[in-house]
Amino acid sequence: MLIPILLLIAGLTILIFGANYMVEGASALAKKFNISNLAIGLTVVAFGTSAPELVVNTFAAAQGHQDIVFGNVLGSNNFNLFIILGITGLITPLAVQSSTAWKEIPISFIAILLLFILVNDVLIFNSESSALGRIDGAVLLIFFGLFLFYVYKQLKSDPSEIGELIEAPALSSLKMGIYIIAGLGGLVYGGHLVVNNAIEIAESYGIGQKIIGLTVVAAGTSLPELATSVVAAVKKNADIAVGNIIGSNIFNIFLILGVSSILKPIGFSPNFNMDIYVLAGGTIFLILAMFTGKRKILDRWESLVLLLFYLGYTTYLVVQEL
């Protein structure tokens, strides 16, 4: 059993390096064509930090491992919201722009609400089974397109310095191509290792794929978001720290679940509704935190509440499985 564990760790490592190389290569390519740092930050890097989740879910959906698909996205989003924001908010209180408090965070809540409606066919529409079908996936992708249009309009009407975090490397055309191809190759191979070995470990220890998806796979694929937000918090750039998390959560639901269900309809287990409730509750807590105490600031005590709640919830999930 040691070999699958080592291969799972290797797969997660390859995913992280693959995402990093792809972002560097794509950033250099974009800069070569005079695309602004801001546009790069909100497109290339946002996609780059969500790329591990996309690749893992693509493999899991194609192989019919529905619990990995939903466990990875819901687990990653909860990990982003509770653990990463909790850690970064403890490093420094996170003050955010008005648009983040009034628009981006509520949009992430709308994404959760839409997902809940689309996957709960039995609960809402009295169907015989619940699934995220291809039409549902198309709806999610339409909303993703609307979100990108919103980001584009924000860039035109309210430019900010959010892109200054991105330092595009000076690379030759050959190096850019190698970085992008190597990055994509790393993402594909790493995703393959993660899915196959996570399932083997789950089966060997009698652990459900849901728990593996919600914990090990979700935490591993969220490492790019963790690294980005911690660096941003240390540099006192709260907009990046919070924006990276909220943007990634929106990407994960609209884009990744949209693509996954277009590839193959995904059966939904009602057991995941609790994780949706937790994600929705955490997002509501974040919205309230923006308008209580010091306005538009996630204070350290609020960050600690997020962190402690999720540690307790994850412990509960694991104990229930044993």
Q: CA 266, 270, 275 angle in degrees (round to 5)? A: 95
Number of domains in the chain: 1
Domain ranges, residue 186? 2-321
pLDDT in tens, 272-295: 999 999 999 999 999 888 877 667
In angstroms, how far apart are the furthest CA atoms of the chain? 58
Residue 285 belongs to a domain with what CATH number? 1.20.1420.30
Note the pLDDT of residue 36. 54
For position 156, what pLDDT does the model report? 63
CA distance 302 to 202: 34
Res 109: pLDDT: 96
Tokens of 71: 């466990």
**Can you give the pLDDT at residue 95?**
78
Burial (Cβ within 10 Å: 0-12, 13-18, ≥19) of residue 263? middle
Nearest to 229 by CA among 74, 46, 104: 46
Question: Tell me, what DSSP letter sits at residue 292?
Answer: S
The pTM of the whole model exceeds 0.75: yes
Instruction: Select from 155, 163, 160 the least CA-distant residue to 97.
Output: 160
What pLDDT is stored for residue 45 in this prediction? 63
Q: Containing H/E element for 4?
A: helix 2-32
pLDDT at 169: 57
- What does the pLDDT read at residue 79? 92
170: left (phi over 0), alpha (psi -120 to 50) or beta: beta
- Parts of the chain with a pLDDT under 70: 23, 27, 30-31, 34-46, 97-100, 155-170, 237-240, 293-294, 321-322
* Cβ atoms of 245 and 85 closer than 8 Å: yes
Amino acid at 168: A
CA dist 160 → 99, 156, 169 (Å): 11, 10, 21
